[in-house]
Structure formats: C-alpha cells, structure tokens
Structure 1
Amino acid sequence: MTQAVAPQETAQHGLTAHSDGDWANRVPVQTRSERPKSTDVADFAEVTGREAVWKYTPVAKLDALLNGRLDGGRLPVSVSEIAGVTAEWVSRDDARIGRAGTPEERGAAAAWSAFGEAHVVTVSSEEPVTAVVTRDALDAAPRAAHTVIEAAAHAQGLVILENAGSAQLSENVEIVVGDGAKLTVVSVQQWNDDAIHLASHYATVGRDASLTHIVVSLGGGVVRLNPSIHLDHEGANGEALGAYFADAGQHLEHQVYMDHDAPHTRSRVTYKGALQGEGAHTVWIGDVLIRNNATGTDSYEQNRNLVLTEGTRADSIPNLEIETGDIEGAGHASATGRFDDEHIFYLQSRGISAEEARRLVVRGFLFEVIARIGDAATEERLHAAVEAELADSAR
C-alpha cells in the first residue's frame, strides 16, 4: 500500500517551505499594513540595521534611544496661550492615548514603554487659531516623550512643534482630527548639530475632515521623523508635506505612510530636500496603501531631491499598494538631480550671477513647502535659516 505524502506548505509568492526550520515565518513582510505592532518594547528584537525599516539609518548612533534607559518624565515645554487651545499633562492610562496609531518598530515602542505622562494639546475653536509648542530646553540625556494633538469636531487650527537646542529624544506624537475639522500640524527640527531625534507621528482623520502635516528638518545630527496618516473615515483628506536641508555628516530621514481605509478619501504627499557637503545623507520612503474598501480614492505622492555638491547621498523610495480598482486615481514620482542648467542659464541671461542664480533656484525649490505653513513669523524664520544654509555653502 502506498503511503500518502502530506503536501508541502506554500509560502507567499508560491515559494515552497524547506524542512530545516520555520522558513515561512521568516519571509519579510511585504505589505505595510501587515507589520507587527506593539506599544511594548519587549515585543521587538534589538535593531541590527538589516531590518527593512532601519537599513538606511545609522543605528549605531541611536543605541541610547533603542536599548538604553529613557527618562520618561515631563519635557520642559511651553505652549502659547491662545483662546480655543488648551494644554495639559495626563497620565499614561488616560483614555485619549492610543487612538491614532501603534508603534511598528523598536524605537517608537521604547519611547511608548518609557513615558510617564503625555502632553495633550486640544484645539476647540471653530475659528482659525495658531498655537506654538516649544521644546528648546532639553539636554543630552536620553528622553522619551508622548504628545497628543486633538482637533475637536469642526475645529480649525494650526499647531507648530518647535524643536531646537541639544537633545536625545525619542517620541510618539498622536494626532486626532475630529469630524469636519481642519488641522495643520507643523514639526520644525532646528536642533544643534549633536542632537539625535526619533519621532513617530500617527494621525487619524475624521469624516469630511482635513489634516495638513508639514515637516521642516534643517538641524540635528540624526533626525528620523516618520508620519503615518490614517484616512479611516469617509471623505477624509490628508496632505503630507516636507522640506529638508542636509549638511555634511547630517542624516535626515522621513518615512511617510498614507493609509486609505474608507471611501472617497484624498491624499497628497510632497517632500523636497537639498543636500550639500561630504556625507550629507537623506532618506525618504513613501508608502501609500489603498485598501479594498477605499473606493473613490484620489492619491498622489512625490519626492524631489536637489544635490548641491559632491559626496552626498539621497535615497528615495516610493511605494504604492492598491487593493481595489474602483478609484479616482493614484500615482507616485521620485527624482534626484543637480541644478537645471536651463534655469541657471535663464537667470544668468538676466544679469544674475551664477552663485545667486543657484541660491534663487534652491529658495524656490524649498519655499514651495514652507509657504504652506500659514504662519508668517515661522515662514520668515525658516526662510532665513535656509538662506544661512546657502550662505555656508558659498564659502
């Protein structure tokens, strides 16, 4: 009698599992939504730098934030006093914590495990208001932080997170946008050259609500800021914008996730960066997921990098996953290059020097994003910071 042979298990993409170990479970996660999630750092293995989410990051410089003991006490922070905006510290078991997202990697989980209290900023005004949250008095001690920014239903507001000075900071920022609300959140990184900053931003956007998320990274030794925007209510709109300028030896990284999980949602992603100096390194990874239930989605993402000198590196990786064919449209684009010679020639033909022509091109390139902030004082200060970067490159 012939003995029946059990069929071999088949892993993803039709590959056959070997008998020597749990091969099928070692296949890398191919879909962003399938990544393991946890608020407990113990659920994540130590980072080696070979993981998909860490392979572009100088992980050796992050050891204190990934593996060390983090101070989870209150950060020294100030918030502008504006009618219609409140700020308070709450315990980590407050019901407002954990609504916008969950860590997908060890750095964010370490910060979540360590924080003692969360800083909650609530926008309740139905007329447009602006609040500035300043963190510029930190020190070099490794810290963990948790911030919640919430816009009540039909509220309108602009919240600016100002980061400056020295720091070793790992943080999670939750953004909750109520139904019909319009919220802009801006995170500005003007840290000192020795600063290390890991940040994961999670957002959930309500029905017919709109979130504009803007990142401006100009300072810091290592900055890794990853926004995840979940359009999980019908008619939600999300825009993710970024501008960054990397100098010699500086690492600026942004991994953007736009998750369409409801019908008739819309998203736009635009990140633009400039690089100059030996060892300047930028990383942009853009993930867009259009789920099966997200019919009528309209989505587009793009990343542009302008290389100003030799010796720089810009990694740019757009990813688009579509699980339904019933959409308005979706696309992505990525480009990295030097100055457009035609633009330079045109400006020189108008009597502008080659050096000034290059400065004008870079200004226009980055200011397109900075001009979307909507606060004149912040925009003017960032314009001056970019000018200072350009002046350094001309020396």
Structure 2
Amino acid sequence: MTATAETPAVAEAIETAKVSSHLHPEGSFDVDAHVVPTGREEIWRFTPLKRLRGLHADAALDGTTVGAEFDAPEGVVVERIAADSERRGSSGFVPRDRIAVRAWHGAATAYAVTVPKETVLDQPVVIDLTGTSVEGASATHVVVTAEAHSKATVVFRYAGSATLADLAEFVVGDGAQLTVVNIDDWADDAVRAGTRHAQVGRDAEFRHVDVTFGGDVVRHDTTAEYAGPGGSVEMLGLYFADEGQHIEHRLFVDHTAPHTKSHVVYKGALQGEGAHTVWVGNVLIRKVAEGIETYEENRNLVLTDGCQADSVPNLEIETGEIEGAGHASATGRFDDEQLFYLRSRGVAEDEARRLVVHGFFNDLIRKINVPQIEEKLVATVEAELAKNVLKGLD
C-alpha cells in the first residue's frame, strides 16, 4: 500500500514532541509562564533590554501609531480577524518569549491574508506598516496562508517611528511556494521586536528574505517547522548597522519531518561607534528527520572601528541518517588584497571600498528575485555607505 498523508507511515514521520533546548525554551500562551528577562538568560544575553521601552516587561501595548495598508492582486483575500479566530496559531506557533506572548494577547490589529488553492500570482502582495510616533507601544499580528499548490510573494515594508511588538505567521500548504520579503527601513528612533513562524507543508517551498536598515533596536526571531516530508526552507538576510544601532536576528529551523531541506545565509555590515549586530542560528534535526539536508552561514563585514558583531551558529542533531549538515561563520574587515588589486588598476580608494561592499552583498540581493526590491536595496546600500565608509576607515 502506498503511504499517503492519512496513513500511519507518514503520520509517524512527523515529530512535534517537546525538545529541551537552552536556545528555545518551552512555549506557552500564558504570560506569567514567561518571566521578565534580566539579560542573564541565553536568549536575551545580547539584547539591550533597557532600550526596548518595556516591550519585554509590562509596557501597555495599546498604541495606535502603527498603521497597516494592503495592496493585493485580484484573487487574494485580505480580512481583519478577531482575537479568538482559529486562524491565529494555525501555523503551530506557540510563544517562546515574553515579548511574543505579550504581542499575542495585546495585538489590537490582526489580519489574515489568504492565497487560494492553485493560485499563481504574477505580482506581489505588499503590506506597508508605518509608524508615526515612538510614544505608546503597539502590537500587530498577520497570518499569511498559501493554500495547496499556490505560488505567491508577500512583501512586508516597515517604516517610520514606532515602538512595536509584532507577530507574523506563515502557513505554506502542500506543494505551495511562498516567498516572504521583510524590509525594515525605520527612522533612527524606532524599536521593533518581531516574531515570525512558518509551517511548511509536504513538498512545499518557503523562502524568507530579511532586510534590516534603520531603527534604534531591531530584534527578529524567525522560526520554521515542517508539516510533512519533502518541504524546503530558505532564509536569506541582509543588514546594515550604523552608529549606536543594535540589530539582532535569531533563527530556528526545526526539522520535524524526513527528507526536508533548509538553507540559511545572512550577511551584515557594520559602521560607526557602538554599532552592534547579533546573529544566532540554530537547526534541530530530530530523530525522525532522516535524509535531510541543512546548512547555515553568517558573514559580517566590519567597516570602521568601534563595532561589534556576535555570530553564534548551532546544530542539534538527534539522528546520523542525514544527507548533510553544516554551518559557517566569519567576521572581518575589508580585504586588503581586494583593495590593493583595485587601487593598483587605477580605481580610487573610495570607489574601491564601495565596490568591495557591493560585491559582498550582491549575490544575496540577486537571490531575492523581486526586481523592484533588488533595485531599492542596491540604492539603500549605497546610501548607507555614503554615511561613513566612503570617507575611509577610522
């Protein structure tokens, strides 16, 4: 008999039991189950808690300064949903930290975006969330569902001034292909703590592109799990931290099914006194996850003195029956040999520095496959470079 989604053979190939991990504590929808962090906890040790404006503690999440606008192609359903809607949590999401659980209960605005079964979009769904003030912390929640065998791109654009705790869930149906592009282009005074969770169906593909510029403190926690064999997850990230800015990305891919794949590549640049970036990547390969492939990579380019880049890759492996697993991490300054090569051929020093940085990011930008987004990112990188690095290293 051929195994199907209904037979024990496939049902037994999904493992969602609790797994003890110091990087991913047990989740709960009870706010009191998540103590106010002190900074000594593993998941908070890099985060400047005093700059979160109480998002991690007890700040009221009743602000109304973040507005949402949707531009969706024909056929896509966008609707506001109630706090008790069954679609909230449909990705299997369970809050694993205090900010996430407070956002779950405090979100005054919750939306559902649905791409119907077998629908193929030729234009992206664009969601703009714009803040007008840092006064009054806000919380939002969006659930994106790509039904079976659909294909879509969803672009989130965050801008303005805000103090925001937000949730985003992604449900990728069997055989579906969903690309999500998240762009943080905040004003310098913004604080955002974002939590994103994806559930990837059988033979489905999920791509998440994380682009972070601007803001005072931006912390992202992005997780993915599988609802059936054959699923694929790709996470790409690009970030640029300036003077005094803190950008933190925490990622967790939970291989809950066999013959699944994950590929994570994040690249960041830092410039200016006190610029700080954090990347923590973790992949859990469960006992049932035989035949999987996974690789995670983080690269950081330090452009000036006074910066700090923390990079922590992790693998937790419970079975040896895998196709491959690995990780890489590197942090360094400009490559002197590259600069020498360019200058020896008549390229001015400022132009040589610009070319090296664009080359560092270019291959990642080209993987996004959304031309208008790629062009915007190239221009944004150029604008960031003009702030400091083109004036030369300190």
TM exceeding 0.5: yes
| Alignment partner, residue 354 of structure 1 | 349
| Alignment partner, residue 133 of structure 2 | 139
| Alignment partner, residue 108 of structure 2 | 116
Residue aligned with 1:136, SS: strand
- Partner deviation per Cα, 1:288-321 (whole Å, 9 max, x = no partner): 0000000000000010000000000000000001
- Partner deviation per Cα, 1:187-234 (whole Å, 9 max, x = no partner): 100000000000010000000000000100011000001110112310
Q: What residue identity is the alignment partner of 1:357? A: A
In structure 1, C-alpha distance between the alignment counterparts of 2:366 and 2:76, rounded to whole Å: 24
| Alignment partner, residue 259 of structure 1 | 254
Deviates further, 76-85 or 240-249: 76-85
In structure 2, C-alpha distance between the alignment counterparts of 1:338 and 1:73, rounded to whole Å: 42
Aligned pair partner of 1:315 in 310, 315, 319: 310
Contact 1:256-1:286 within 8 A present in 2 as well:
yes
| Alignment partner, residue 45 of structure 2 | 55
- Does residue 98 of the first structure (1) align with residue 116 of the second (2)? no
- Does residue 87 of the first structure (1) align with residue 78 of the second (2)? yes
| Alignment partner, residue 242 of structure 2 | 247
| Alignment partner, residue 34 of structure 2 | 44
| Alignment partner, residue 124 of structure 2 | 130
In structure 2, C-alpha distance between the alignment counterparts of 1:281 and 1:53, rounded to whole Å: 16
Residue aligned with 1:242, SS: strand
Q: What TM-score, normalized by structure 2, do the two folds share? A: 0.90
- Partner deviation per Cα, 1:309-335 (whole Å, 9 max, x = no partner): 000000000000110010000000100
| Alignment partner, residue 387 of structure 1 | 382
Residue aligned with 1:148, SS: strand
| Alignment partner, residue 341 of structure 1 | 336
In structure 1, C-alpha distance between the alignment counterparts of 2:122 and 2:207, rounded to whole Å: 14
Q: What residue identity is the alignment partner of 2:77? A: T
| Alignment partner, residue 175 of structure 1 | 170
Contact 2:65-2:131 within 8 A present in 1 as well:
no
- Does residue 295 of the first structure (1) align with residue 290 of the second (2)? yes
Number of positions where the alignment pairs a residue of Structure 1 with one of Structure 2: 366
Q: What residue identity is the alignment partner of 1:52? A: E
Residue aligned with 1:64, SS: coil
Segments of 4+ in structure 1 off by > 6 A? none
1:178-189 paired onto structure 2 within 5 Å: 178-189=173-184
The offset of 1:159, in angstroms, is 0.4
Aligned pair partner of 1:225 in 220, 226, 235: 220
In structure 2, C-alpha distance between the alignment counterparts of 1:248 and 1:117, rounded to whole Å: 33
Contact 1:73-1:115 within 8 A present in 2 as well:
no
Residue aligned with 1:220, SS: coil
Contact 2:243-2:274 within 8 A present in 1 as well:
yes
Q: What residue identity is the alignment partner of 2:81? A: V
Deviates further, 307-316 or 61-70: 61-70
Percent identity between the aligned chains? 48
1:18-33 paired onto structure 2 within 5 Å: 30-32=21-23
Contact 2:166-2:194 within 8 A present in 1 as well:
yes
In structure 2, C-alpha distance between the alignment counterparts of 1:146 and 1:138, rounded to whole Å: 18
Residue aligned with 2:105, SS: helix
The offset of 1:371, in angstroms, is 2.1
Residue aligned with 2:377, SS: helix
In structure 1, C-alpha distance between the alignment counterparts of 2:217 and 2:277, rounded to whole Å: 10
Contact 2:164-2:193 within 8 A present in 1 as well:
yes
Alpha-carbon RMSD across the aligned residues, in angstroms, is: 1.5
Q: What residue identity is the alignment partner of 2:127? A: V
Gap runs ≥5 in structure 1:
1-28
Contact 1:231-1:238 within 8 A present in 2 as well:
no
Q: What residue identity is the alignment partner of 1:57? A: T
Deviates further, 366-375 or 385-394: 366-375
Contact 2:69-2:129 within 8 A present in 1 as well:
yes
Q: What TM-score, normalized by structure 1, do the two folds share? A: 0.90
Residue aligned with 2:81, SS: strand
In structure 2, C-alpha distance between the alignment counterparts of 1:126 and 1:30, rounded to whole Å: 38
In structure 2, C-alpha distance between the alignment counterparts of 1:251 and 1:133, rounded to whole Å: 24
The offset of 1:342, in angstroms, is 1.8
Kindly name which structure, 1 or 2, has the bigger radius of gyration based on alpha carbons: 1
- Partner deviation per Cα, 1:38-83 (whole Å, 9 max, x = no partner): 1232221111111111110000111421221101769521111312
